[in-house]
Amino acid sequence: MAFSSMSGDCADELQCAVCFELYKEPITLPCGHSFCKVCIEQHWESREEATVCDCPNCRKVFPIKPECQKNVALAKLVEKMKLVPGVNEEKMKLVPGVNVEERRCTEHGKPILLYCKDDESLMCVMCLVGQHTNHKVVPVEIVHDELKGVLTAKCPELSKSKQHLESQLHQLKREVEQTQDSGKGSVDRMEEKRLALYQYVDKSVDLMKSRVIKRQNKKIFLLQKQMDKVKEQLNSLHETNSTLKAALQDHETIPFLQGYKDVIKRLESVSHFQSLKMAQPTVLDFSKEEKNLGSLIELHENFLKNIMKPVELQMSELDQSRLRRLYGRTPSLDPNSAHRRIKISRDLRTANRTETDNHHPEHPDRFDRCAQVLSSDCFSSGRHYWEVDVRSSSLWGIGICLNSIRRKGGGKECWLGRNTESWCLEKFQNKYSTWHNNQDTLLSVPGNPERFGFLLDCEEGEFTCFGDSRVLHVFRGNFRVPVKPAIGVYGDGASVQFCSF
């Protein structure tokens, strides 16, 4: 490659300061400057004082002739640059309006020409001598095309998620309309019957209407909350889609690479949206209220006391699908609490039980006898729902505990469910049971569920365990004191995983 085909600073980085050509068998002097081996030898031989060796660049004198070894990394770079198609003046030309300093290495001030695949970082030629030694380094033009291909492959997945969420939003809007219609019709029919009632009946009618409207509004509130969440996800997808398109349309190498990680993070944050599933629409049933009003004249006045009882949203109206959308979260495991036989996955979602120690560093939060691990998440208010995949384990315990639970020792003070500080659903010898304060309750769980759900309602003081879409058990306690999700993996080779929503 002739050097006239390269431009400015970029050419300087691969040009010998003696012959002004591309390096041929480059060597690097102790001062850090590089030259062709032949050129530096000839330079030293031409000196009047043959015993004095200096650097033609910085003029530093070396009393003893340095042992010049080939700079392998620099030599490979020269060969790679020769093979890169399109590395010419047109390709390297600076674009008006682009900050030149952003194209330079912050450490050496040299032009950014390389990309380290090991560290996923931009670098200049000077960076080759240092922390990137023996790393896989390629010209930025090569990795530019590779990473654009990665983003292009993400486009269909992003489009699918967007369509899925738009369908969800349409379904939720339709369900809101149906709920509004059903509630309005029931209220109108109640008003017609009101004329036949006496004074205490008028009061009862008002209470019944309030009951209907309360249920209706509560249902609509939950649906609106779902809609808001779907809209938020759609907005996130629109923003990510715009960012992706902008990145794919960016023909400038350095800005593209500088923004690449941010684009990937955005794509990963929305990658799970399409996995959400909508539950079948349910319409509130007010027939019971209407029938009660039809026979209200014949009822005793104590009926008024019965209808004044508060009405909560039925569990059938709040199934696990809605729990995922409204309160779903994916807890992260705390590596500092993991027992030495438990290995935590890189995404902090899976606890793997190993047959040998993992040599975890000492930590006051670590369980030293019980094969358990806690989440780094801590809850003391609101509602929180998560699910756990147990298909790879036949001996486990899952629940919540106070952060003050003991970590050292193997007694009941540390074991989930065997003390006052923890609540646990457990599987042992193919039997399921719940544990708290060392008291167990045997459960009837048909089949062998691969996934269990857990709803923590701090204000109501309830911790509900779900299996195969039905409630298995409800713990009651003071959960306004901060508690953490907890996992115990009690069989070698098994694993338990927090599910992603």
**Does residue 1 surpass a pLDDT of 70?**
no
More confident residue, 51 or 272: 272
Gap between the Cα atoms of 255 and 264, Å rounded: 15
Reported confidence tier of residue 253, pLDDT bands at 50, 70, 90? confident
Rounded CA-CA distance 451/498 in Å is 10
Element (H, E) at 346: none
| Residue range 130-141, pLDDT digits in tens | 777 778 888 888
pLDDT of residue 53: 85
Is pLDDT above 80 for 198?
no
- Say what the pTM is: 0.45
pLDDT at position 203: 76
- Could you report the per-residue pLDDT of 392-438, keeping only the tens digit for each? 999 999 999 999 999 998 889 999 999 999 999 999 999 999 999 99
pLDDT single digits (tens) 74-119: 787 777 666 654 444 433 333 334 344 457 888 877 788 888 888 8
Rounded CA separation 93/103 (Å): 12
Report, in angstroms and rounded to the nearest whole number, the Rg of the chain calculated over CA atoms.
34
The reported pLDDT for the residue numbered 267 is 85
Buried b (16+ CB within 10 A) or exposed e, 341-355: bbbbeeebbbbbbbe
User: What is the pLDDT, as a whole number, of residue 96?
Assistant: 39
CB 175 within 8 A of CB 281: yes
Question: For residue 322, what is the enclosing H or E element?
Answer: helix 320-327
Give the pLDDT score at 172.
83
pLDDT number for residue 315: 46
Going by C-alpha positions, the residue among 18, 3, 9 that lies closest to residue 109 is 9
The vertex-237 CA angle with 235 and 242, nearest 5°, equals 95
Instruction: Indicate the average pLDDT of the chain.
Output: 82
Structural domains of the chain ordered from first start: 1-93 (3.30.40.10), 163-319 (no CATH), 328-498 (2.60.120.920)
Collapsed DSSP state (helix, strand, coil) of residue 480: coil
> For residue 452, what are its two tokens?
């269990």
- Residue 178 CA to residue 281 CA, distance in Å, equals 9
Rounded to an integer, what distance in angstroms lies between the CA atom of residue 112 and that of residue 93? 13
Beta carbons of 313 and 326 less than 8 angstroms apart: no
Tell me the H-state helices in 426-487: none
Q: Is 134 exposed, middle or buried (0-12, 13-18, 19+ CB in 10 A)?
A: exposed
Position 301 scores a pLDDT of 56
C-alpha span between 20 and 35 (Å, rounded): 10
Looking at the predicted structure, is the pLDDT value of residue 456 above 90?
yes
